[in-house]
Structure 1
């Protein structure tokens, strides 16, 4: 009988186990929950930047602009955010009106400058493009504007770029009854001859919905950036 009672006793390691009182147990649970919530919030915040609503936007600054604009109902265009320098706005307004008239939204050209150089006038492209609007010097080799490109004044680069956009616009305007702004922008980026070749390979199409499959990927992304900054979708 004595042996049976001994066999029923708990092992010594169970008897020495610490007892966690209910008060301290509650503290531990709350602390663990708080750490988990902070971690989840941090991961959520980071994922909102790394997984934007526009995954096709590869430029981080433009992507953040689109995200921030979506959080502010009064901001209809990401290009209007304070993160983008407004010092050149008077020039975009002035030369847009001069070459296109008052009906053209000057923000198209500011968005274009952001896509080209993020509004950095000291930018120089790998192929020799220079300035705020990343102009290729040979673009105006047969005009009277080449002297303007030698100037370090941003206003002349903006003026020359918008004038060139107007030239492209006029060429495409003769070929289509719709607004040719997408064709103008694509030609500015890739060159009009290359876009003409792309229209040939797509059977003479002029709608961006079809043409985008025949233009260089960098040109396709170029338009995505500009339209995103303008708060617009690429239309066919």
Structure 2
């Protein structure tokens, strides 16, 4: 499948998002696993923004629901992922936490195949946060044909809406020059 060139980030600044968390820490993991699971032209910074939204890039972070690490994975979800990726090490190890989080994103992303590329990404993040079933139920509540993120989000929990918006703002506030490479490669299909 050839990807259109829609995943561009802009350089506008949003003062409600602290850009100081953007550092080069863990970049190698985000680059490697974004390329492995989404293709070499996919903008890996989306997943780093997701990790910032999840944990503030604190690899020791633990949520009240038991989610752990940079990508805030629930241990049972991690075990499910390890059934497919048996070479993954411990959940708390940053490289494996990032790899598993991006692998899980890819599994969700594939479920939204009938959506435009950017919408798929937002729906993937919403599903990562609230669960695929909950986002699917929200989608079914939307009247009309468009059913994009802007129509669906009103039927999702406030936390999920804020989560996706935080990732979007982080991408706009990324401090390095971010005129990104146009997506011209192929997205591998993993069936």
TM-score by length of 1: 0.61
Deviations 1:85-144 (A, max 9, x none): 322000000000000001210000000000000000110001111111000122244441
| Residues 1:161 and 2:101 aligned together | yes
Aligned ranges 1:35-46 → 2 under 5 Å: none
For structure 1, the 5+ residue unaligned runs are: 1-51, 58-62, 66-80
* Larger-Rg structure: 1
TM-score by length of 2: 0.74
For structure 2, the 5+ residue unaligned runs are: 1-12, 174-191
Residue in structure 1 matching 2:23, options 85, 94, 97? 85
**Is the 1:85–1:119 Cα contact (8 Å) retained in structure 2?**
no
**Is the 2:127–2:135 Cα contact (8 Å) retained in structure 1?**
yes
Deviations 1:42-99 (A, max 9, x none): xxxxxxxxxx956xx4xxxxx232xxxxxxxxxxxxxxx6x43322000000000000
**Is the 1:140–1:146 Cα contact (8 Å) retained in structure 2?**
no
Deviations 1:159-215 (A, max 9, x none): 000001011111101x22443111111101111011001111223753111111101
| Residues 1:116 and 2:54 aligned together | yes
Choose between structure 1 and 2 for higher RCO, CA contacts under 8 A separated by at least 6 residues. Answer: 2
How far apart, CA to CA, are the structure 1 residues paired with 2:40 and 2:167? 20
Residue in structure 2 matching 1:200, options 140, 143, 155? 140
Give the match for residue 222 of structure 1: 163
How far apart, CA to CA, are the structure 1 residues paired with 2:68 and 2:91? 11
Q: What's the offset of the Cα at 1:150?
A: 3.2
How far apart, CA to CA, are the structure 2 residues paired with 1:103 and 1:119? 23
Counterparts in 2 of 1:130 and 1:53: CA distance versus 1, 3 Å: closer
How far apart, CA to CA, are the structure 2 residues paired with 1:146 and 1:128? 22
